[in-house]
């Protein structure tokens, strides 16, 4: 069931994207020459460019933005615009050599995934001004790097409002993978959304795990340690939280596991790609997902690069207004989110878009136009 109002644009965009993401977890073949393990697919018939991707340490099957980005690459290939491949990073030290390896393969466009790759991408772009790059969750340079960024503070604000209006304990929580803007902007938005709910409703819902004013909170120390994510979630549950917003990629699977063990007492808000679809083993615990249309942004960027013209390094910013970010459908929770709450979220979304509600998160992306 797809709910009305704010989700309609993003839900339509993400429906196909998340199906592709789910199908992309097992590449059909392996490419030689990778420093950390690579995969590739080849469409029937020649395509216009070779487009290559470097994952971050979460890996190609993270059920999050690496998988979503790969789905976008595959979609461009299915359209006959590119032959695509990826190389996987096992540690941050792999970023630079992986980029160099793809340059050596003659990739027309190299897509790097995650703001942690910003330095390696920028350094490579400076060394070879003729090489085109795109980076997810990082800024472009106006010449040969296109930034694909998303104002997730907006959609996370909606998630915070929803969580504050849905909790039965009066306590909700959030934790991140690592402390940098692409993560903390989610946590800021969630915190602000809950404070706004308290303001308009006269309630006192507490947010555990993050304080926007001090910029201090809880982190898993990375994006792969499920045990750490599970322990953080158990700690929040012990403190009384019944809705957990994880911004920790694969580590967030630990939050889903802890929620599943609660026998329906605890729910999770997922991040990036609709968790109900990408992580079906935990589908029953997902209230919603703060989604980014990474798949669509990557697909469009690859196909634009294949268009035969000059590469456009104008940054892309996904917002509530253009459908680049938003909340996914409620799925199993659809009957538990009242029509009144849905109507309120619709109005809050409109007020964010109009500027009536001003989000103050310092981590909101700034793009070069």
**On the CB side of 45, how many CA atoms lie within 13 Å of its CA?**
7
Contacts of 126 (CB under 8 A, 6+ apart): none
- CA triple 236-361-258, angle to 5 deg: 20
> Residue 322 pLDDT more than 70?
yes
At 277 the pLDDT is 94
Read out DSSP for 46-90? --SEEEEEE--TT-TTSSSHHHHHHHHHHHHHHTTSEEEEEE--S
Domains of the chain and any CATH numbers: 7-150+295-318 (3.40.50.2300), 152-292+325-354 (3.40.50.2300)
Q: Which residues contact 360 (CB under 8 A, 6 or more apart)?
A: 188, 192, 212
Of 266, 261, 260, 318, whose CA–CA distance to 290 is shortest? Answer: 318
pLDDT at res. 61 = 86
- The mean pLDDT value for 81-92 works out to 95
User: Residues with Cβ < 8 Å from 236, sequence gap 6 or more?
Assistant: 171, 173, 175, 208, 209, 244
What is the tens place of the pLDDT at every residue in 23-80?
433 333 333 233 334 444 444 444 479 999 999 988 898 888 899 999 999 999 999 9
24: alpha, beta or left? (left if phi > 0; alpha if psi -120 to 50): alpha
pLDDT at 87: 97
Residue 36: the pLDDT is 39
pLDDT at 367: 63
Tokens of 207: 């947010």
HSE value, Cβ hemisphere, 13 Å, CA-based, for 331? 21
Residue 105: Cβ-neighbour burial (10 angstroms; 0-12, 13-18, 19+): middle
Average pLDDT over residues 111-118: 95
pLDDT tens digits for range 8-31 = 344 434 444 444 444 433 333 333
Which distant-in-sequence residues (6+ apart) come within 8 Å of 332 by Cβ? 276, 283, 284, 286
């Amino acid at each position: 069931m797809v709910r009305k109002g704010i989700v309609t644009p993003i839900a339509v965009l993400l429906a196909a994207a998340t199906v592709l993401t789910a199908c992309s977890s097992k590449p059909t073949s392996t490419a030689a020459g990778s420093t950390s393990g690579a995969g590739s697919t080849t469409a029937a018939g020649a395509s216009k460019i070779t487009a290559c991707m470097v994952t971050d340490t979460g890996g190609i099957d993270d059920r999050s933005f690496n998988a979503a980005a790969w789905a976008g690459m595959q979609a461009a290939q299915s359209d006959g615009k590119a032959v695509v491949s990826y190389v996987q990073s096992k540690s941050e030290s792999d970023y630079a050599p992986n980029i160099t390896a793809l340059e050596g393969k003659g990739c027309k466009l190299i897509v790097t995934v995650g703001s942690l790759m910003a330095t390696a991408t920028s350094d490579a772009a400076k060394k070879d001004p003729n090489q085109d790059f795109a980076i997810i969750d990082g800024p472009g340079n106006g010449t040969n790097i296109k930034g694909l960024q998303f104002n997730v503070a907006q959609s996370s604000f909606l998630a915070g409002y929803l969580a504050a209006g849905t909790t039965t304990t009066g306590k909700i929580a959030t934790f991140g993978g690592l402390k940098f803007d692409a993560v903390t902007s989610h946590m800021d938005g969630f915190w602000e959304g809950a404070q706004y709910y308290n303001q308009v409703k006269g309630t006192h819902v507490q947010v555990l795990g993050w304080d926007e004013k001090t910029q201090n909170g809880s982190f898993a120390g990375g994006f792969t340690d499920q045990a750490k994510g599970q322990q953080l979630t158990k700690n929040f549950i012990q403190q009384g939280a019944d809705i957990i917003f994880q911004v920790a990629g694969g580590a967030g699977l630990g939050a889903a596991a802890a929620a599943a063990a609660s026998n329906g007492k605890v729910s999770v808000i997922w991040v990036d790609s609709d968790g109900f679809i990408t992580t079906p083993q935990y589908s029953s615990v997902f209230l919603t997902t703060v989604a980014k249309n990474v798949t669509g942004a990557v697909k469009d960027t690859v196909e634009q690069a294949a268009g035969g013209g000059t590469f456009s390094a104008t940054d892309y910013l996904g917002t509530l207004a253009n459908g680049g970010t938003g909340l996914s459908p409620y799925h199993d929770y659809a009957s538990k989110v009242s029509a009144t709450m849905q109507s309120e979220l619709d109005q809050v979304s409109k007020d964010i878009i109009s500027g009536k509600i001003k989000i103050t998160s310092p981590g909101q992306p700034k793009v070069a136009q």
